[in-house]
Amino acid sequence: MAANSRVTIAAHALAWLELARRRGRPSLTSDEVAASVNTHPVILRRSLSDLRRAGLVTARRGTGAGFALARPATQITVLDVWAAVEAEPLLALHHTEPNLECPVGAGIRPVLADVYDEATAAFRASLARQTIAGVLERILT
66-103 residue pLDDT tens: 999 999 999 999 999 999 998 678 888 988 999 999 99
Give the domain 6-140 fold: Arc Repressor Mutant, subunit A (1.10.10)
Per-residue pLDDT of 59-72, as tens digits, reads: 998 877 899 999 99
Q: Are 60 and 68 in contact (CB under 8 A)?
A: yes
Q: What is the pLDDT of residue 1?
A: 46
Q: What residues does each domain of the chain span?
A: 6-140
62: left (phi over 0), alpha (psi -120 to 50) or beta: left
Q: Rounded to 5 degrees, what are φ and ψ at 89?
A: -65, 155
Q: State the alpha helices, DSSP H only, in the chain.
A: 6-22, 30-37, 41-53, 78-85, 103-128, 132-140
Residue 104 confidence (pLDDT) above 90: yes
